[in-house]
Structures are given as C-alpha cells and as structure tokens.
Structure 1
Amino acid sequence: MAQKTIALVICSIRSPRVGPSIANWLTSLITPRLSSTPHIKLTTLDLADFPMPLSPSGRTIPAKLPVPLSTSPYSDPEVNTFSLAIRQIDAFIFLTPQYNWSIPGVVKVAFDHLFHEWKGKPMMVVSYGGHGGGKGAVHLKEVWKGLRGGECVAGVELALGGGVGKAVEGVLDEGVRQTWEAAAKGDEISEGWGKLVRAFEEEKS
C-alpha cells in the first residue's frame, strides 16, 4: 500500500491556547498504533503556521479551478503555500475548540480558500470546550459536506469542565486529562484512528 499521511490539524490560533497541549495528548495515544500501520504517517498541521487573508480575492472560485491544480493556482502566495501543504495530506483529524456554538473563524477561512484539496478525503473531529464542543463539531461537519470532503468517520468530544479557566491561559489541567482517560476518551480516539486507517484500506479494495 502506498504511503498515506494523516494530519492532526490544530484549529485554534489564539494566544495563549490549549490546543497544542491537547494535540500532544492525542499524539501520545496514536503513536503506539503506528507500528502496526507502517504505511501510515501522522503529522501535525498548525493553522497558526499558515496566515492567510480573511477572504479569497480576485475572480478565482476554488471549486471552479481546473484539476489537476497547478503549483500556484491562487492569487495569494500564502494560499498557494497552504494549498501545497494540504495536497500532501490524505486524511485529517481536526482538533477544534467551540466558539459561540461554532468553529473558530480561522478554520472557516482555511476551508473557504480551497476546495479540490479537501475533496474526498476522510476525516474525524475532536472538539473541546466547556461541555465538549459538540455544536462546533456539528458545524464543522456540515461545512465539510459542502466542500465534498470524504467521510467523517468519528467525532470525539472533550469536555474541559472546571478546567476552562486554565485552558484559556493555555494550560491543560491534569485533572481534566485524567477525567478524559477515566471516561475512555482515549479509547474513542484510538477507535477513530482505526476507522481512518480502514478508510484507506477500503479505498484500496
């Protein structure tokens, strides 16, 4: 089987932020499983590393661009850089907070700048917030459908509960992490990872 890359996408760019700490926890859960799937590579993609305009510019409609895409199909160089990065990814784990029952604006901006780069690729959503970020996850999934993205194989909600205050300061409370583990959230993450891997296997068959 050809090498496949799954990106863990950190969807918050605020400062300070707890997203990278949660991403590290997710990575610690997934890494032990990589030895059984040598054709799968996990990488981290941080939206903070890809500053882009708030809106597509010019007359280019991403969905109307001819495929295969050229190396620079967009008028903004920052978007071209992001496009090339996303083209290297075969599936996604979107790690997103919930803002006002939705996703961070930067996530919608990232989605809207591209189209073909997302199309057909499977993903899972890991949301977090005071009560788990479920409403934000629902919104993300709806946008993904509009992008003609592939199957959403799993959704995991991580409730910050009493750890919200520390999370706003960029700190993942140890008690919160222990609560997640007691609630078998780690198992949910592992199951979602397995579904992403199986999505590749079904694609091959």
Structure 2
Amino acid sequence: MPDISTYVLCSEAQLRALLDVHYGGHLLGQFWGGATASEAARRLGEPAPRVAYHVGRLRALGLLVPDDRPGRGQALRPVADRFVVPAAMRPALGTHTARPLLAALSEAFLAAHTLTPDDPQDLTLLDLRAEAGEVDLGPVAPEAARLMVRVARLQPSAYDRVMRAAWDALAREQQAEAGTRGARLFTFSLMGFPGSLLPLSDPQRHQGE
C-alpha cells in the first residue's frame, strides 16, 4: 500500500481556501499526480486565467507546490494527499467557514434536478433492507442527481470502516475511469456524524442495548 502523506493545516486562511466550493479542494484535486494550471483548467472546463488566479492563491498558502518530476512544464502537485484540521483549529470549523460550502452543495444539488429530462422519473431516497447487495436507485438516468440518507446504529469502529470503504471505492473508480472517453465531472459529498437527525435524540440513551 503506498504511503499517504498528511498535511496539518496551520491557518484559518488555509481552511477557508480548502472549503471554497468552487476553487478550493475541488481545484486542488485536479493536481493530484501532477498537472499544470492549463491542464487543470481543461479538466474543469474553466477559463485558464480564472483558474490561474486561484492556483496562485493555493500556491501562496503552501497548499500547491512544484512537481519536480522531469518532462512537465511548471507542473504542480498538492503538498500532501490528506489534509487535517488540528484540534486547536477545530473552533474555526464553524458556521462562518463550513456553512457556505454546505449551502453551495445544496444549491448545486437542487439545480442539478433542473437539468434532467422533462419525463417524470422515480428516485429511491431510502432503502431499509439490511441484506447486502446492489442498491436499487429506481429507473433514473445514470447521470441523474441522487440523494440517499440513512441513520444506522453501529459500533464506532464499524462507522469508521464504512466511511473509509465508501471513500476508497470512489477513489478506485476515479482512477479506473481517468481519461476514458465520455467521462464527466460528478460531485460526491460523503458526510457522517454521531447522533441522528432528531433534535431530541440522546446519543447515550441506547448504549448497552
């Protein structure tokens, strides 16, 4: 298994830059494995001058660094594979930094439905089956926006395992599909948290059941 490099954020400016829904972590990811600013712009379908401006901001914050592999003109790469918010900076991960990202994701999700065909299409939002197998998302177009929400009672170690497995599966698919004809940009947001959506739920209430 390849080594995973980790970068611990050291300023709120870096945190805000990574949480920028348009040109933060999304843009940084285009440089994984090394790329030039113009290559990143082509991958995103964005104007090169605009991308170059935000690339310069990520470089100034130390989040993008030169890629020293030969044969690449002014190639850059992320300073690490994984970015971590240290405990001392956790208070900065509040509504003033995270809310804009979550709001933008919600707006983009709602807007994506307006791009689907006019024909009515069913979409499964919840599947309560416990058995393993393919999830039936209903007769929708493969590229349609999808939303699945599930509250599950798990051991903390199982929760960690599920989150890691979901992220790993996405990474494997992305590597397999990279450069293939017909590949398009899709946005995935993997979110999990202790407790349920019920405001009166007590996360300690059912311990030991």
TM-score by length of 2: 0.28
TM-score by length of 1: 0.28
More helix by share: 1
Task: Give the structure, 1 or 2, with the largest relative contact order (CA under 8 Å, sep 6 or more).
Answer: 1
Q: Which has the larger radius of gyration?
A: 2
